[in-house]
Chain A
């Protein structure tokens, strides 16, 4: 695969495993074994069964007629919001928990920002009967209380992280430190296509079920496997990696990656990493990240807690670098408008993350005879408080 990972763990100039020696044995064990385990027929059978009967796959590819009419093109929504736990995150955690069991691990750790990946990890740990510890920035535990309660109900231990800026990047640091301190019995379930090789590739493979299904479903509905556009939002980039995966080497499919511009790309309150980031090292990976001139990692901003990661997965950095994917930045305001639009046109309340992808529809100008597949990565239930507060403030200003 031209845009896939090479044998050294790189996508073009990005990727690698920039980790301290204390992590080397763990990461090396994964690197050696992940592909062979994932290819075992029993592993595949067990995973397929769980994806079908537990997660609820395949998720529908829904022709959104009223939305299509609004944008004068043909739009299909890939309904990842209908997955168990409400987003695409569980595709990855189901795969990784099965992998962890085969590696003989007894203890699972994870980081979470908004809490979606934390809930998806706590869920599969309950299913597998494994201990689960989720690191979450203290500020996020306060912003996303219902998800904290869900994780606890599922039997996970949630550790509020008070180091650094107390958000996702610090939760990730703390999970990595936990792994350093537990080098034998613990598996770290990273939630996105970030971190040292092989994580970006492994997570992308687990998420690639999204584009595998899109191809089959589109063939049934349209008589062709390839859409003209695939649109997905990008924080770390796992839902986009999954939605793009089986289209990467099909140059006629335009890939649109949508980042969070926050209050505006140049406002100083943004998470548009492909524009604002420079090449550096974050969480063991060489990629684009937001940082000061001195190389200190900065805190991004977006109304969406799932998009405010200061880096982007190394494959996405490569897609941006080579121009294979077009990167578009969408502000809080445009995303929220798109969220309301989909709610009212289609009766679907999307997650704020996915609403960024929706807001990009007006930027891409797809033609009436073109087919757009938009990955609706999650549902908006978790965002209800943020949504209500946002529109109340907006009404008050008017």
Chain B
């Protein structure tokens, strides 16, 4: 089991965890590290940096658009890892890289893990990496470099499968709030409550963070009553589109959520 910032965070703090997603190289190519530093200063517990892709299948319009802008800005895995070099002298919060498998494959999976671990990345979310392939081919590589892989579950994921995912995971489980792409509104339906409580009652060894459709203080707090914390993506991307300076946009968004 990797002993990284991610696993330590969950040992130290058990609730109200705020995980913020943003796309590397968005809104401007050089904003990545600025946003990262500002998020730490403003009280995010962990961050998920999106590596932009031309065809982000699981993402809604907001994150799709941020991916496209970031690519036009010249962002790539190589560029991102170069920007993150030395970042550990300035930020301590756990960093997760999120991205689709194809760009990672082209960079070279092992080389990617090695370089990511070297700049201080703690975990990966690769939503289109299947389970069986992970176990057979990729798990030993991730372990070699001390990286955690975070899996998603949805309201349609069977109990059996959730238990398998729990076995394979060593940081947290990303609990998708409803059947949707990113950025859809979360409906607080009875069905969703039932899903959250069903998963809670499984007594999983890993903490749960709820993502998809968490957009403001109310939905964050609600999610925190059902899980250890929540992930905000699209709403944060929208906040970065505000006219103020990027640091100011980060600060005021976090104040809104935490305040």
Which residues of chain A have a CB within 8 Å of any CB of chain B? 8, 16-22, 24-25, 163-164, 169-170, 173, 176-177, 180-184, 278-284, 289, 291, 293-298
Contacts and interface: CB of A to CB of B under 8 A. Distances in A.
Contacts of A22: 58, 152, 154, 156, 176, 179-181
A294 B58 contact: no
A9 to B, nearest CB: 9
B163 to A, nearest CB: 14
Interface of B: 53-55, 57-58, 60-61, 64, 68, 71, 76-78, 100-107, 127-130, 132-133, 151-154, 156-158, 161, 176, 179-181, 184
Contacts of B133: 16, 18
Contacts of B102: 280-282, 289, 291, 295, 297
A20 B57 contact: yes
A398 to B, nearest CB: 39
B116 to A, nearest CB: 15
A19 B107 CA distance: 20
B156 A278 contact: no
Contacts of A281: 100-102, 105, 128
Contacts of B184: 181
Contacts of B64: 163-164
A177 B151 CA distance: 19
Contacts of B158: 25
Which interface residue of A18, A173, A284 has the most chain B CB atoms within 10 A?
A18
Contacts, number: 112
Contact of B106 (A170, A180, A278): A278
Contacts of B68: 164
B54 A18 contact: no
Given A281-B100, A281-B105, A18 B181 contact: no
25 contacts: A16-B130, A18-B133, A19-B128, A20-B128, A21-B127, A21-B157, A22-B154, A22-B176, A25-B154, A25-B158, A164-B54, A164-B55, A177-B60, A180-B179, A180-B181, A181-B181, A183-B179, A280-B105, A283-B55, A294-B76, A294-B78, A294-B103, A295-B77, A296-B54, A297-B54
A284 B100 CA distance: 11
A176 B127 contact: no
A18 B128 contact: yes
Contacts of A177: 57-58, 60, 181
B179 A295 contact: no
In the A-B complex, list the 6 residue pairs whose CB atoms are closest, starting with the nearest.
A295-B103, A295-B106, A20-B127, A21-B152, A296-B54, A25-B156
B164 to A, nearest CB: 12
Given A24-B157, A181-B181, A294-B78, A8 B132 contact: yes
Which interface residue of A17, A280, A294 has the most chain B CB atoms within 10 A?
A294
Given A19-B130, A170-B55, A182-B179, 8 more contacts: A20-B127, A24-B154, A163-B64, A180-B57, A180-B58, A183-B154, A294-B78, A298-B54
Nearest to B178: A181
B55 A21 contact: no
B199 to A, nearest CB: 13
Nearest to A163: B64
B58 A282 contact: no
B97 to A, nearest CB: 14
A219 B60 CA distance: 53
